[in-house]
Structures are given as C-alpha cells and as structure tokens.
Amino acid sequence: MVEAAAAAAAGEQELSASASSAAAPPPPPPCPSVPPPSPPPPPPAATSTTAAAQVVLLESWKRSLPPEQQDWLSKALFVRDKTGRAVLTKELQLWYHPPGPLLTYSQPPASPDAFFQRPFFLWAPYRMWQYSLKCPSCAHKLTSCGLYKTVRKVLDLDGWYYMGTEYLECRYCMKKVAAWARSVREQLDLGHQLLFPAELAYRLSCDKKVLGQMKGRTLGNSANRLRSFLVECHTEEWMSRCLLYLETINKFQVAGVRLAPPPRPPAMQPVPTSGWLLSTYARETFSRLEELQAGVTSIFGSILKMDSTKKIVRKLAGADSRTAQWMTSVGNELGQVLICVLTAAEGYGLRDMTEGLQQRYEQAERCPPQVLYVNRDCCRPGGNGGAVAALFPSWPQLQVRLDIRHFIRRLAAGVTAESHPLYPAFMRRISAAIFEWDAEDVSLLSTARQGQQYRRGSVENARETARHCRRRTRGAQETERLLDEAIQAFMGATDTMNIPLLDRARMEEIWTRQRKHVACIQDPAGVQLYTKTGELTKGDVVLPVYRCARGSTSLESFHLHLNRFIPGTSASGCNFQMFLLEGLTRWNEDRAQVAAGAQNTGMKCYAGQKQHCLYQLAQRLLGVTLAETYSKPLLYTGELIGMSYLYAQTGRVLQMFPDDPDDPDGSEEVVLEEDEAEEDDEHRDLLQEALDEGV
C-alpha cells in the first residue's frame, strides 16, 4: 500500500510538471524458456488500486470531475508511447465530446455514466498555436509546465461542461500563471481570443451564450427570468437523459422475473442563483470596458441635443443611493448618444463633460456642431446666450435652441385638464402657430393620396404627412402673433358643462414669461434639419422620405430605453454602470444601422471591435464587404461616463473585478432583489414618433 501511494504521488507530480506519464511502464515479459512462477492472488486493495490507475488524470482533476467524466476524458487526452508511458496527446483540440451511450445494447448498461457525460474544453494556446507569450509581471517569455490543477465547471444553456488549461511558467521570475488568465488571453489575436467560450468567475464559470441572453434587455428580461429559463432547460435535458437510460434498461425487463434495481442516475446539478448570474454578467461586461467606452466616445454629430432625467437615478441603491439627482445625456441628429453622465444636480458639474466633448472634436479634427437643442437655460434676459452656451467656449458659432416640445409643454401648463374636450384643438392651434408645412411636399403627397385613394381607399394620416413632408418655423414675430391669437381665442372657451379650457390668470402669467423664448424655438439659419433617407411610391407618385433632426425628443426615448434596460427597481453602482454602458452601446449601434438603411439586412452585431476587424480583413484580403460596419471605433478619449463621472466628483473609484478568476470576487455572496412585478409596457417609442412628426 505504501508503494502504491508513492507511485500515485510520483505520477501526480510528473503529470503536473510535464503532462506526460501517470503510470509506471509494465514489467518486461518473462523469458519463454523458463516458465514463470504462479504469482500469489493480489489482495482486494491492490485490485482497486490497479483499476484506479487506468484513469490517467491529475489527482486534483479526479477530485473535481464527476465519475462519468473521468474514464472517457482520460482516453481522449492521453495516449501510450512506445515504452507504455501515458503522455498527453500531441493532437490537441479545443472541444472534446464524449462518446455517449451505445446506439443499441445487448445487455443492460452496468452504469448510467455514458448517458450523463458532458463536453470538455481544453485551452492551451502555447501548445496548440505556438504563441510567444510574455509574463504579465516581467514581460519575459512564458513556457509550458504541464496542466493546471484546477478544472472549471461552466454553466451552459442546457447543462454544464468542464474546462481545463495548461500551466505556464516564467523561468526569469519563476512566476506561474494559468493560460486562461485574461492577461494571457489578451496577448492572442482577436480571432483566437474569441475562441474562448466562457467568462471565468470564482468557483463557477458561465458560458458566453448564457450571458448573451441578458444583453438584449427588454421588459421582463432580467436575471430572474434568465435563471428560470435555465432551470427549465437544464431540467428538460436531465429528464431526457434519465428517460433514455431508464428506457434502455426497461427493454431488458422480463415479466415475472425480479431483477436487481439498476444504478440510480446522478442528480441534476443545481443552477446558480440570479445574483450570481448578474455578478458574472457584470464581470463579462467590465472585461469589455475599454471597448464599450471607446464606442461611446467615437460618436460625433453636427446637431446636438442635451436633456436630463430623474427617473433612472432613482434605481441607484446601496451606498450609491441618493448620491445622484440627474442623468444628463448629449445626443446627435441620428438619435445616437455622445455622452451620458450622472450628477448631483441638473447643470451642476457639467463643465468637465462639455470640456471632454470639445476636446473629442478637436482631437478627431471634426467640425464643431452647429446647433444645440436644450430644455432650459437657452438664453439670458440681457442677451449674449444662456448658461448652456457658456459651457462651450471653444464653439463660439454654436446656436443654442430651446426644444419646441418643452416650450409647448410650458404653455400646456395653463390648461385646466388635459382631458378637456377642447385640449386637442388647442394643441393643434399652438402647433400651427409655430410650424408651417412645405407647400411643394404637401401638394405632392396630396396627389399621391388621390391616386392611392382611388385604388385602395386609404385615408389621410398625420404620421404619413410627417414622413413625407417637411415643415419649418414661421419666424419669431409671426409666431408670437399667432400664439397670442390662439391663446386669446381659447381664453374663454368652455365645454358643454361650461368648464373653461384655460385658467386665465395662470395662462396669462405663463405667456408673459414664455414670450421671450419665441425666438429661441425658431429654426437656426443656414442649418439643414431634414435628411432624405429614401423614396416611396404611392399612387404612381414617388414620395421622398425624410428624417428630421429638430428637437431633443430622441434623448427622451433613450432615457426610456435605458430605464427598461436596467432591470428591477434598484441597482448598485457597479451594476448600474454595467447596464448603462451596454445599453448605450446597443442603442447607438441600432441608430447607426437605421440611419444607414440597413435595419432589414438580416445581420446584427454589437461587438464593435469584432465587426470593424472583420470589415478591415475582408477588404484587405478579399476586396469585399462580408459584414458592414456603421461606426468606426476610435481610441478611448478618457472621458468619464455614467457612474465614473459621479464618482470623480466625490473622489471615489469604481470597483473593478480581479484579473485572476481564482481570486475571490464576492460573486458567491451576491443577493439580488426581486424585479418589479409589473413594468409599464404602454410607453410609446418617442424616438420614432419624433422622426415621423419632425419635432
């Protein structure tokens, strides 16, 4: 027994050091001229030791892998050399798939192991692709020193699989590192980096396909929903394997013959908690932090919009609760978002944000924007611009305009009730006092409607008018006169119950204050607000399709999107930042794809680095475009985004995850609050409405 233990220890050390032999070579055959003596029968302990020696794996792997994985994996990874020694096969591959059960059995299976085997992933970039890898500490060359002692268990969509890696050693500083460490993987080219399938966390790991289920945020798409989906998929897969195993045994049952009960199948391995899924998703997102931030700071525009909201910051919980009061975003004419920050108050501390935007344009050698739409601080009583214009000293030609929707909402505050029967007529009168339609566009659409009405019987549609017709403001003096007439015309208007539409005293006070802003809502001179995006044939008439860049309604739609993208009612600062960056990146890519008219191509990708790299290689090597790229990612400018901006104002630092997945990161202690039972699903897509109506 002592000799057997010593042999096992020696085999363990040899496998760990060189991934070669784990069993002693067999003794030489006896001389045929001399008959060998009959050996004594071995004791039972020796028999079990010999059987265990057939599995050529590290002892730490044997302790980590379930029994059904060990035999087939040992045969797949190790072969016998000429001397009979067990060595790691030279024909390595990334994925090893188990043989599984036989198609037909001539007798009942002795064990359920073959029915419950799972795939194995081996990550060995040094051995497989002969990469010249450098030590993360001293930058000297790394060399292979065997297999890493830890086997990772990875959560997949329908079960679990296992992962091993090689161990690398720096002979200069004597430091050892597992090949799956991020500092090693980042030294590979992008194509080989993407072959790594999982996000490694402490103790357990998660396949990227699982985390991908959380990226497309919609109403109800939360970590709790994902866990429920995984539990269902894992249960169905486990039950299918159990059924196949038991049905195979049942075929050998004979009526009237009582056989020994077969071995029970292994229990289903539980799915981790929702908190663990959320923490792992945060870890994966922060591994792409540089790419996400670079994608945001690569956005530009000639017509900017700035808006603030309070709704989203109410979700901040824990130590970050009530530390922020406003979220301020800056967008462009396509609906994309250039920057999004959290501040303690609206307008407070925005100078760093605006300075970063001005430096971004200067470093990229882009022309400064022409117009900035805001919802407040558009002008001063004494002239010389408002408080917003003072935040952009490098752009003296920037024209600041008040968003017309906000202006109309201010006037609507004088209404006694929005449910008043005359309220729609009053709002139409206010809109007509501000805007006038292009006569040629309206005439062309009218001709098309006549032909279409004759054929299809279609009716007039306001949304259709906004899609094919342009409109412009009437000028400050004309607008002020028409608004004054509209207010006076409805001042004494009442419904059938003699309830007035307008509160006279309040309306007069509002109009007195807002009269000065009539000039601020006029279209800026020399700026093209409409872009022709295509054509449409109706009634044998070709109609242009326009997109309007006026106003800041696109930012309101983005804030609605982000409020949905951050699940539940609360989120820590780390999770809030993660959802913000992911949602911001996906929003910008969707807007860029729509602007290019490619929303129906059947392809969609939010990995900007992968997309741009594929585009460049296809152009260079094939001279064709395999996948279009709609925004060119630049280097990250260093601008602070979201929670990082808020933390910079208070001297705090956003906590990052450790690079080594074997270091505890707190993911095993995460507790996730339940998501909201109901979320408002009656919100309209404000962005589409804005583009259609041209506001």
pLDDT band at 33 (very low <50, low <70, confident <90, very high): very low
Higher pLDDT, 249 or 631: 249
Token pair listed for 378: 């558009």
- CA dist 509 and 359 (Å) reads 42
* pLDDT, mean over the chain: 84
Query: What value does the mean pLDDT take over residues 686-695?
Result: 43
pLDDT of residue 381: 65
pLDDT band at 354 (very low <50, low <70, confident <90, very high): very high
Q: Which residues contact 630 (CB under 8 A, 6 or more apart)?
A: 589, 592, 593, 595, 596, 598
Choose the weakest-confidence range: 27-36, 163-172, 537-546. Answer: 27-36
Q: Partners of 205 in the beta sheet?
A: 154, 200
Structure confidence by residue, pLDDT tens digits, 162-191: 999 999 999 999 999 999 999 999 999 999
**Contacts by residues 137-142 (CB-CB < 8 Å, ≥ 24 positions apart):** 137/170, 137/173, 137/175, 138/170, 138/172, 138/173, 138/175, 140/170, 140/171, 140/172, 140/173, 141/170, 141/171, 142/168, 142/169, 142/170, 142/177, 142/184
- CA dist 6 and 87 (Å) reads 19
Strands, E assignment, 119-226: 120-123, 142-147, 152-155, 160-170, 176-178, 198-200, 204-207
Residue 92's SS3 state is: coil
- CA dist 502 and 495 (Å) reads 11
Supply the angle between the helices 223-250 and 274-287 in degrees, to the nearest 10: 110
pLDDT of residue 692: 45
- CA dist 396 and 65 (Å) reads 67
pLDDT band at 23 (very low <50, low <70, confident <90, very high): very low
Query: What value does the mean pLDDT take over residues 646-671?
Result: 67
Structure confidence by residue, pLDDT tens digits, 418-451: 999 999 999 999 999 999 999 999 999 988 888 7
Query: What value does the mean pLDDT take over residues 363-375?
Result: 94
pLDDT band at 597 (very low <50, low <70, confident <90, very high): confident
pLDDT of residue 615: 86
pLDDT band at 47 (very low <50, low <70, confident <90, very high): very low
Radius of gyration of the chain (CA): 34
Choose the weakest-confidence range: 201-205, 443-447, 461-465, 616-620. Answer: 461-465
Token pair listed for 85: 């020694």
Instruction: Using alpha carbons, select from 690, 692, 681, 673 the residue that is nearest to residue 223.
Output: 673
pLDDT of residue 224: 87
Is the pTM value of this prediction over 0.85?
A: no
